[in-house]
Structure 1
Amino acid sequence: MVSLISPSRAQRKLAENLRSRRLNAGLTQQGLSERSGVALPTLRKFEQQGAISLESFLKILLVVGGLEKVIEATKLVKPTYASIDEVLKGNEGSTPKRGRHK
């Protein structure tokens, strides 16, 4: 699957979305910092630039909501087949289950 959004744009969009969630919950940056355990300067930098560690990002999601949806979004989606022909065709180009060593 090809994405049309760059990683830096995705970071900024995630920051905007979480800022909106924070405001919708009636939380100040200080309040969210206290509830999530994420340092206030880290939270400010995230909302301004989109830069944050994964752990801090997940802590914020735990407070403002959406953690379960992020976990669900990363699940492997297995294809559904309508016929045995589709199953056989799908196995022709199967990928290895382990990564390659370089």
Structure 2
Amino acid sequence: MPLLYNFDIDTISDIQKILAQNLQKRRLEKGFSRNTLSEISGIPAPTIAKFEQKFVISLTSYIALAKALGYTKEIKELLSQPLYDTMEELEMINKNKERKRGSRNETGK
């Protein structure tokens, strides 16, 4: 299988910051304080504050917050469609669509 390179210049930290900023915007648009969002989501207000300020949160907590803000559909759609840049990648995706796990031969055994 060919080695695929990702030339995306965003760092993981950049993306975490964007996710935190977007969540904070959606919270404020709804007029929710951190305490209100905490009550709705079950996620402690200090966890929400830490995410908005330091951009760190567990996936479970992030999903709970997104769900509380009404973004269940968008979360479920994340990574739902394959991305490809070339016809070769699309062919490989279509070939591997039914694959459930890695091949035992990938380790060279």
Q: TM-score range by the shorter chain?
A: 0.7 to 0.9
Structure 1 runs of 4+ with >2 Å offset: 1-4, 76-79, 97-102
Q: Equivalent residue for 1:83?
A: none
Number of matched residues?
A: 93
**One-letter amino acid of the structure 2 residue matched with residue 71 of structure 1:** K
SS of equivalent residue, structure 1 residue 74: coil
Query: Aligned partners of 2:11, 2:73: CA distance in 1, in Å?
Result: 24
Report the CA distance shift for 1:32/1:101 in structure 2 as closer, same or farther (over 3 A).
farther
Q: Which runs of 5+ in 2 are unaligned?
A: 1-5
Q: What TM-score do the two structures reach when normalised by structure 1?
A: 0.75
SS of equivalent residue, structure 1 residue 27: coil
Please tell me the root mean square deviation across aligned C-alpha atoms, in Å.
Answer: 2.9
Higher relative contact order (CA 8 A, sep 6+): 1
Q: Equivalent residue for 1:90?
A: 91
Q: Equivalent residue for 2:3?
A: none
Q: What TM-score do the two structures reach when normalised by structure 2?
A: 0.71
Q: Give the drift of 1:64.
A: 1.1
